[in-house]
Amino acid sequence: MASAAPPRESRFAKVNSDIIGALWGPDWRYTSMMTLLGAVIGWAFFALLWQIKFGMGTAGINNPVMWGVYITNFVFWVGIAHSGTLISAILYLLRSGWRTTINRAAEAMTIFAVMTAGLFPLIHLGRIWYFYFLAPYPNQRMLWPNFRSPLIWDFFAISTYFAISLLFWYAGLIPDMAAVRDRLGKMSGRMARLKQKIYGALSLGWQGSDSQWKHYRRAYLYLAAIATPLVLSVHSVVSWDFAMALVPGWHSTVFAPYFVAGAIFSGIAMVITLAVPFRWALGLEDYINEYHFDNMGKLLLLTSLIVGYAYLTEFFMAWISGDGIEQSSFLYRAFGDYTVPFFIMMMCNAVIPLLCFSRKVRRSIAAMFVISILVNLGMWYERFVIIVTGLAHEFEPYAWGVYKPTWVELSITAGSFAWFLFWFMLFAKTLPAISITEVKESIAEGIWSPGDKKEDA
């Protein structure tokens, strides 16, 4: 131990005590929120059991609309997952200063969102116990998956994405776990010893010697470098689930960039939505402040413009194609049975985010919170509109149909939000929710320090 305690905490020590100090002692608000989320998840599980017992007829999906809210949720949650890796990997490679305090939470969000998304293809299967047919494994029937199928690509893309995001997140956590371990070492009591053992095991014996840092930073850089093309590939593959089919409104080459931009858009919106209660509940207002919201607002605006442009491109392509079926499909999308979802999508995704052109709006946390919630809503509806209007209005008029979700689907959808938030809240109280190392790095390099609400030139 140091011979004498310094009179005042150093800046580095303050980072440790602020971030690690936020971990202990959940209060009554936390426990009651967790109980509520648990109840919603329980109800959704009941709905799922109901569907398994009585069959897929309990869900509203029908012929021709055989993809409904479940696939909407799948695409929505995969999209949410994208900003985590964007913030952590792409902005890491770009040496962006503002990512340091939100990257940990965004990566955690990625993992929990993929965990949520991954449930939906299984729920949608109906006979959920056959999901392992997707995995390539040697079997007696000599059967292998059809590797030409976008659904198998998707299985590979999502599994890889989950694995790499998890490793990337965990790699980032290693030095911070060691910081928690060493802080616990100063406390007395049996609980502290037990916790110290757990965090010590999770830190894998990290000591922060120069050679460890050297290998660590290399590995982190490579993970970031390979995660970058991965992010772009995953939602492209998800979009090909649609674009590879001949359905009018889906069969389009613009789908991959359009979906990737949409994914990043929705993901950033979710980061903003979660960052507001998160900074308040953990008392980390100095760490995530106007500076970060300003920059996230710019990213939100950029992706919103791309998404809005893609919406218009789709209509333009339908018009210029001269293909009557394509044109009819897009007219149906805007003015058919799903006009309300369509206009919610247009307003929330392409119009309202334009407010972010204003610096004042971007630096107002309340305004960003409201906009981000509307964007989340809009992006959920975007997936709904693409999936349902595409299928409801295919080639033959006698095969047109309308879809309405049932209570089972809506309960499971609500459950997915609760499930996601449950994991996120668990994370916020058990692991260092802001990267201690990276905050210190930016202090040491003089890029940014806690409490600084600086503006980029």
Partner 1 sequence: MAAHAAVSARFDDVHTVLGAVRSLREQGHEDVTLYGPVMEPELEDALAKPRSPVRRYALIGGIMGGISGFALTIWSSYYYPLVVGGKPLSSIPAYVVIGFEMTILFAGISALIGMLIHNRMPTAKLDPHFDPSFTEDTFGLRVVCSSERSGSVELLLRSAGSREVNVER
Positions that interact with partner 1 (CB under 8 A): 1-3, 6, 10-13, 16, 136, 142-144, 147-148, 152-153, 156-157, 159-160, 163-164, 167-168, 171, 175, 178-179, 181-183, 185-186, 200-201, 204-219, 222-223, 226-227, 229-230, 233, 237, 436-437, 440-441, 444-445
Name which of 197 and 453 has its Cβ closer to partner 1. Answer: 197
Least CB distance to partner 1 at residue 142 (A): 5
Q: Look up residue 248 and give its two tokens.
A: 């009018």
Least CB distance to partner 1 at residue 6 (A): 8
Least CB distance to partner 1 at residue 296 (A): 25
Least CB distance to partner 1 at residue 7 (A): 12
Q: How far apart are CA 56 and CA 63, in angstroms?
A: 12
Among 380, 407, 392, 406, residue whose Cα is nearest residue 338: 392
The residues near 74 (Cβ < 8 Å, ≥ 6 apart) are 117, 120, 121, 124
Name which of 100 and 416 has its Cβ closer to partner 1. Answer: 100
DSSP label at residue 358: S
Name which of 58 and 159 has its Cβ closer to partner 1. Answer: 159
Q: How far apart are CA 17 and CA 15, in angstroms?
A: 6
Name which of 204 and 245 has its Cβ closer to partner 1. Answer: 204
Which run of H or E residues covers position 346?
A: helix 339-346
Q: How far apart are CA 432 and CA 440, in angstroms?
A: 14
Least CB distance to partner 1 at residue 210 (A): 4
Which run of H or E residues covers position 361?
A: helix 359-362
Name which of 234 and 348 has its Cβ closer to partner 1. Answer: 234
Least CB distance to partner 1 at residue 400 (A): 30
Q: Look up residue 164 and give its two tokens.
A: 């790499």
Among 374, 408, 189, residue whose Cα is nearest residue 265: 374
Name which of 292 and 440 has its Cβ closer to partner 1. Answer: 440
Name which of 93 and 444 has its Cβ closer to partner 1. Answer: 444
Among 294, 303, 293, 291, residue whose Cα is nearest residue 354: 303
Q: Look up residue 212 and give its two tokens.
A: 């460890």
Least CB distance to partner 1 at residue 395 (A): 22
